[in-house]
C-alpha cells in the first residue's frame, strides 16, 4: 500500500514561523476544529487557488520584504496532492518560463489565508478533504476489480 501523504519542509525565519502560527490559529478559529499543521498549509493552498492570478503575482512581488524565509526547518505532513496544487498555481503564474518556487507559493498562500473570510476557509477545507480522499478512493476502486 502506498503512502498518500508526505512531509513538506518549510525554511522559515521567526517572521515566517509567526505567519504559520497566525494562519494556523486563524484556520482553527474559522473552522472551529482542531487541525494538523499540514492541514493549514493544504487549506491555504486550496484557498489560494480561488485568488485571481494578478493578485497572487502582486503578493509574490512583495513577499521578499516580509522576510519569511530563514534557516529554521519545519516539517509538516500533508497529502501528496498539496505539491501538485501548488505547482499548478506556480505554472499558472509563469512568465517567460520563470516559475515561482513552491516555497514562495506556500508563503503567499499562508499570507492570503489570513485575509480570507472564515466561510472561504471552511469551503477550502472541504475541498482539501475531498482531494485528500480521492487517491484512497481510487486505490480502493482498483482493488475491487
Give the pLDDT confidence of 32-43 residue by residue, as tens digits. 999 999 999 999
- Asked if residue 49 belongs to a domain, the reply is yes
- Asked if residue 28 belongs to a domain, the reply is yes
Write out the residue range of the structural domain in which residue 46 sits: 5-137
- Asked if residue 20 belongs to a domain, the reply is yes
Question: Is the torsion defined by CA of 135, 139, 141, 142 positive or negative?
Answer: positive
Q: How far is CA 8 from the centre of its chain?
A: 10
Please give the chain's pLDDT, 145 residues, in tens: 455 678 989 999 999 999 999 999 999 999 999 999 999 999 999 999 999 999 999 999 999 999 999 999 999 998 888 999 999 999 999 877 789 999 999 999 999 999 999 999 999 999 999 988 775 444 444 444 4
Q: How many domains does the chain have?
A: 1
Q: Cα-atom radius of gyration of the chain, to the nearest Å? A: 15
- Asked if residue 145 belongs to a domain, the reply is no
- Asked if residue 115 belongs to a domain, the reply is yes
Q: pTM for the full model?
A: 0.88
- Asked if residue 59 belongs to a domain, the reply is yes
- Asked if residue 143 belongs to a domain, the reply is no
What's the full length of the chain, in residues?
145
Amino acid at each position: 500500500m502506498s503512502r498518500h501523504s508526505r512531509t513538506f519542509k518549510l525554511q522559515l525565519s521567526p517572521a515566517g514561523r509567526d505567519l504559520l502560527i497566525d494562519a494556523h490559529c486563524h484556520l482553527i478559529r474559522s473552522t472551529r476544529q482542531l487541525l494538523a499543521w499540514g492541514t493549514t498549509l493544504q487549506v491555504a493552498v486550496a484557498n489560494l487557488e480561488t485568488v485571481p492570478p494578478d493578485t497572487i503575482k502582486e503578493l509574490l512581488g512583495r513577499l521578499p520584504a516580509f522576510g519569511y524565509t530563514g534557516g529554521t526547518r519545519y516539517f509538516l505532513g500533508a497529502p501528496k496532492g498539496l505539491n501538485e496544487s501548488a505547482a499548478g498555481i506556480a505554472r499558472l503564474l509563469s512568465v517567460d518560463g520563470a516559475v515561482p518556487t513552491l516555497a514562495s507559493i506556500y508563503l503567499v498562500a499562508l499570507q492570503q489565508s489570513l485575509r480570507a473570510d472564515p466561510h472561504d476557509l471552511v469551503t477550502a477545507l472541504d475541498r482539501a478533504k475531498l482531494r485528500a480522499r480521492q487517491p484512497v478512493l481510487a486505490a480502493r476502486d482498483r482493488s475491487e476489480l
